Amino acid sequence: MKSPAAEVLRHAVGGAIDGVIFDCDGVLVDSERISNGTWALLLTEIGLPMTMERSLDIFMGNSMPRCVDIVTEMMGHAPPDDLLARFTANVTVALQRDLEPVAGIVTLLDTLDAAGMHYGVASNGEHEKMRTTLGKTGLLDRFDGKRFSAVDVGKPKPAPDLFLHAAHSLGFDPARTIVVEDSPLGVQGATAAGMTVIGYAEIVSAERLRAAGAVVTVQRLAEVAGLLGVS
């Protein structure tokens, strides 16, 4: 017997599911706290006091160019020219040292593979970052030829362009595509693309994700397979 949430999801899709598109940071790889902790330390160094928690609230889900725009707005002037270069160097070290896959994602991908359900990843992060994070966590080969970045389309989430590009490349009908997202910006982008969103409420509250457009929310990725009917 399907759960009420699974019935809601199936009704939103209208029947069969073509495939699943995952966000990367915070959904496939447990990088959000690492990245935002690194970003917060760097911003504090340049004169913008920041905590990891506040960084998550302000910057989570944004592309790095947009993050720099936000910093400029908050400081009232442009940050140092080497801000992104310093962040990239610092966060690469931190990710290589501490990064792990999100709990439950390996089992979920194994289940999707066994069921023959196709999937891909769409991230505001650059391809090099995805290669680093997915490589460190042993997930890179699982997304070979199925990695899509905002740099591919020029418009990051919350614009729908990245999701539509990923769906087209994967052969998915947007209306029959499920997206797993953990940020309100990502949820907004997928919803604008006409896709059905499962909100992963591990960092951001389920209420905020639903307000952004998530049809259902989960607190553990282990719940996703049952919602998709492949557990």
Q: What is the pLDDT of residues 96-112, one digit of tens each?
A: 999 999 999 999 999 99
- Its CATH architecture, for the domain 4-30+100-228, is 3-Layer(aba) Sandwich (3.40)
**181 token code pair:** 């997202």
DSSP tag of 91: H
Q: Using CA atoms, how far apart are residues 66 and 132, in angstroms rounded to an integer? A: 21
Half-sphere exposure of 224 (CA within 13 A, CB side): 29
Give the tens place of pLDDT for each residue, 11-64. Answer: 888 878 999 999 999 999 999 999 999 999 999 999 999 999 999 999 998 989
What are the residue ranges spanned by the domains of the chain? 4-30+100-228, 32-98
| Strand 118-123 relative to strand 19-22, pairing | parallel
Give the global pTM: 0.92
Q: How many residues does the chain have?
A: 231
User: Domain 32-98 maps to which CATH number in 1.10.3470.10, 3.90.1150.10, 1.10.150.240, 1.10.1740.10?
Assistant: 1.10.150.240
What backbone phi and psi angles, to 5 degrees, belong to 57?
-70, -35
- pLDDT for 1: 52
- How far is it between the farthest Cα atoms of the chain? 57
Residue 102: partners with Cβ closer than 8 Å, 6 or more residues away: 26, 27, 28, 29, 30, 202, 221
